[in-house]
Amino acid sequence: MLEVKGLTKTFGKLIAVDNMSFTIPDGQILGLIGQNGAGKTTTFRLILRFLTEDRGEVLWNGEKLTNEDYNLIGYLPEERGLYPKISIEEQIYYFAKLRGKSKQEIKPLIDFWMDKFQVKGKKTDKIKSLSKGNQQKVQLICTLIHQPKLVILDEPFSGLDPVNAELLKQGIIDLKKEGSCVIFSTHRMEHVEEICDELIMLKNGEMVLNGTIKAIRESFGRKKLYLECPLSLQEVQELPGVKQVSFAPEGGYLLQLEDEQFGPEIFEMVTKNGYIPTFSQQPPSIEEIFKMKAGDHHE
C-alpha cells in the first residue's frame, strides 16, 4: 500500500504540489489527471525521490521507502529513454539488472512479455529498427519485467493507436489482478473511466477532485438527459427545468437540466401517451467534468 501524506513541493514562488494526500491499497488503480503543468509529473518524481519534498512524506506499507523498496517499483516516464543501438533483449536485461534481477531470471520471461504486448520484431532486433509504438511497448516491458509491486506510468497511452492502447489497458488491469498498486497519468479520459478505482485531478498543484469515478460523477448531479420521443424541438425546450437542448449525434435530443430533480416530472410528461425509445438521465462524464474544473477560476 502506498500512502502520500501532505506532500508539498515549491520551486521559488511556484507551488508545484500543494499538500497532497492519498492512499493506493494493493490491487487498486489510481488515475491522476490535470492540464499540462498541473503537478502530475512532479508528484511522481517526489514519490520516486528524484525530487526532495518541502513537507510531507511517502510511505510504503506504513514505512518510509528504502533503497531496497525502490527495486519493487516500475516507472514509465513521460520522456521515453531507450538505447537505439542495442537489441530488445539487451535493453530489457539492462533495466532488469538496475532493479536487482539477473539475466537468468529475466531470460525466460522475455518471450511471454513480447507476446503479451504483441511487439513486432525479434528479440535480437535493434531498438532503432522498431516503430515508435513498438519502442514504447518495449519500454513498458522494461518497466514491468521485474514484477513490481508499485507501478507508476506517466502518460502511458501517449502516441498509441487504439489497438495498442487496448493492449496497454489490459496490461494495467492484469497488474491490478496480481495485487500491484498502480498510478498513472493520462489525458485520455475514457481510459480513466474504464479502469480506475479512484481519481485525483490536480490544478496548479492542488487537488480539486478526489474519489471514486462513480462518486465524483454523481457529485455533479444527473443534469444530462438523453431523450428519444415524438415531441418537437419547441415542445422539448418548454419542458420544466430544461436549460438547454441540442440534437444528439445518434438522433434524439440531449438536454441540460437546471437540476436533476426535474427528471421524474419530465419522464411523466414525455411518457403520458405510452412508450418512448429512450429516457436516460446521467451525470456528466469525466471528460466533461475535467473541462468544467480546468476552466473554473473560482475554486
d(CA 289, CA 274) in angstroms, rounded, equals: 34
Enumerate residues 6+ apart whose C-beta is below 8 A from 118.
137, 164, 167
HEC string for 60-126 = ECCEECCCCHHHHEEEECCCCCCCCCCEHHHHHHHHHHHCCCCHHHHHHHHHHHHHHCCCCCCCCCE
Specify the pTM: 0.85
Sequence spans of domains, the chain: 2-218, 221-282
- Ranges of the chain whose pLDDT falls below 50: 297-299
Q: In this predicted model, what pLDDT tens digit does every residue of 245-259 receive, in sequence order? A: 999 988 899 999 999
Residue-level pLDDT at 147: 86
pLDDT (tens digit per residue) in 168-212 = 889 899 999 999 999 999 988 988 999 999 999 999 999 999 999
Give the CATH superfamily of 2-218.
P-loop containing nucleotide triphosphate hydrolases (3.40.50.300)
For 242-250, which contacts have Cβ atoms below 8 Å and span 24 or more sequence positions?
A: 242/266
Kindly give, in sequence order, each residue whose CB lies less than 8 Å from that of residue 115, ignoring residues fewer than 6 positions away: none
Domains 2-218 and 221-282 share a fold: no
**Dihedral pair phi/psi, residue 20, rounded to 5°:** -85, 135
Specify whether the CB–CB gap between 255 and 242 falls below 8 A.
Answer: yes
For the domain made up of 221-282, the CATH class stated in words is: alpha beta
- d(CA 137, CA 147) in angstroms, rounded, equals 16
